[in-house]
Amino acid sequence: MKRSWSLEVAQRKKREKPSIEENGVELLQPKIFGRKVRKLANDYFFKAAEWSLNGFATAIFTSDPECSSTNAANIWIRSLRYISENPRISSSQGTLAGVLRRMRRAAVKAKIVQIRQLELKRQSHKQLDVTKVTVENFRLRDEHWTEAMARYKGEGEEEAEIGDVDVDELDDNTGEFSVASMEPPKQVVRIVGLGEPSSRSHHPHWTIKGDDLSKALMGSRMIMVKNHETLQRPEEILQLNFIFTRDVILGLAKRDVHPEFPAALCKPIRCPQILMCISELSLKACCGSHTNTKKEWRRLEREYLEHCEEEYSALADLVRSQLEHLLLGAELWSPLQYTASKSKGNEDSFFCNIVKPLLHATFGEYEGIKIRGKGDHLSCNPALDRELLYPDYSITVDCYDKTKGEHYLVICEAKPPGASQKELDADYIKLLNMMKLGLDRQIKQGYNKPAVVGFLVQGWKVLVFHICLEHEAIYEIKSIGHFDLIVDRMQLCKLINICPVLLEAKHIMKASMKNLQQRPSSTTSPLAPLMRPSYDIGP
């Protein structure tokens, strides 16, 4: 009994990491922070030179209430010392002076947030002496406080420059920080993130048949903001990011506006040759082997698809590419049983065997595109949230100026059969938020016809839509269509429903790619005033 108790004590001591003291200040371990801040802190300790350090200290101040200003200062000092003692790491970002310069900018931005917090406390507690509210390792003298607040409010005329600095000048007790060249922080809207405090629109409202939809949608969003802590439905959560689905718009409209919002943008197949080809091949697949079905497909291709009319040539090419991928192997004759079990790797195998071939056959023919997988983060979202957004599949194209990154044309999120409703809702919210970020990047670079296509795979069901911004503060989700995936050889006839949806998505993606490969006519898009910021939200 005594032996087991000693073993338990030893294991407990091994798990508990002692705190470290530097300059008499206790440096708290990252475990005291929330999950998001802990992840940021760990990455900052061990990969600091790989980060664009602007904004890290701001995140420490604003993203977790358990993280005090003192702890944020300690994290910054430890990271500075870690980089200065590891020249190999600092060289990966350039010279050590460059790394220190970026770190100082991040610290100054953090000081701006601290000043704003102290000012709010001063307004709400008039008895509070703000000169006594100091933060260890980041002390502001009284004259610096006066100068900083004057410049923050726009009363100062001169702006100081942030230049190169030595390690000694960045000591934790100097207090020599210039805040004039930093942008003032924005107001916070009761939900995580920075942005505008109002949902009111300033441009002409969106009206249909005398019905003011802009007023109705903004009023609905204000209610969602007030009740954001108790929201459960994805459509309600998405309104926090100004994203509105068809069901929400129809539900708030006072008149019948269904003709203005079709359930699907795709059109049915009207070519008799294509219909006959799919019909006869489906019958052969149900009764014959894989080899005989492939032979029949070659005959039907020569007999029907090669003699289609010119207006149906794009549809015929799409049907041809889909059948080539489906009949490449014999998987349809021996289908696997996919579940939501992550331990068995069913999610990855489901995506690689079923979903990816469908997307490759649809969009893989274009030159200049890049296909991204699960390991590639969404490059157009804020740096502080970058580790949170990893699309399962995406198609990108380089910006006209390659130094500005890439644009997203198609984004896909997938869950295998058997996934819980909570997982499906989380994917739905995540996908639409990523589509909004991709759309905003196109607008910020001056394009006036932005478009991003989204694929949401929920087991065997696929929803396809695209996002557009045609009215102020209203990111509208338009449904292209939906269909069921082909599970086995008995379901080849589903191509009659699948191909029209994929063809419409292909047309939208192609037009967007052609637009993005051209130089924008202006650095400012006419849609820029209609934009609204994005927030870090989830179910």
Query: pLDDT tens for residues 237-269?
Result: 899 889 999 999 999 998 888 888 999 999 999
In whole angstroms, what is the distance from residue 225 CA to residue 23 CA? Answer: 44
Q: How confident is the model at residue 360 (pLDDT cuts 50, 70, 90)?
A: very high
Answer positive or negative: Cα dihedral of 256, 504, 466, 518: negative
Taking phi over 0 as left and psi of -120 to 50 as alpha, with beta for the rest, 71 belongs to alpha
In whole angstroms, what is the distance from residue 404 CA to residue 340 CA? Answer: 38
Nearest C-alpha neighbor of 508 from the set 463, 458, 470, 467: 467
Beta-strand ranges (E) seen in 61-122 are none
At residue 216, the pLDDT reads: 92
Q: Is the pLDDT of residue 371 over 50?
A: yes
Q: How confident is the model at residue 425 (pLDDT cuts 50, 70, 90)?
A: very high
Helix, strand, coil tally for the chain in percent (to 5): 50, 10, 35
Q: Is the pLDDT of residue 137 over 80?
A: no
Q: Is the pLDDT of residue 236 over 60?
A: yes
Q: Is the pLDDT of residue 75 over 70?
A: no
Nearest C-alpha neighbor of 160 from the set 172, 184, 177: 177
Length of the chain: 539
Q: How many CB atoms lie within 10 A of CB 135?
A: 16
At residue 539, the pLDDT reads: 53
At residue 493, the pLDDT reads: 93
Give the residue with greater pLDDT, 537 vs 227.
227
- C-alpha distance from residue 508 to each of 117, 471, 501, 516 (Å): 46, 19, 11, 12
Average model confidence (pLDDT) across the chain: 73
Q: Is the pLDDT of residue 475 over 70?
A: yes
In whole angstroms, what is the distance from residue 269 CA to residue 310 CA? Answer: 14
Q: Is the pLDDT of residue 228 over 50?
A: yes
329's tokens: 């192997």
3-state secondary structure of 160: coil
Q: Is the pLDDT of residue 161 over 60?
A: no
In percent, how much of the chain has pLDDT > 70?
Answer: 59
426's tokens: 């989380």
Give the residue with greater pLDDT, 484 vs 162.
484
- C-alpha distance from residue 500 to each of 121, 266, 510, 511 (Å): 59, 6, 15, 17
Q: Is the pLDDT of residue 373 over 50?
A: yes
In whole angstroms, what is the distance from residue 533 CA to residue 539 CA? Answer: 19
Bridge partners (DSSP) of residue 479 are 465
Beta strand 369-372 with 393-398 is antiparallel
Amino acid at the residue 521: S
Q: What is the pLDDT of residues 331-349, one digit of tens each?
A: 889 877 776 666 555 788 8
* pTM, to two decimals: 0.65
At residue 111, the pLDDT reads: 60
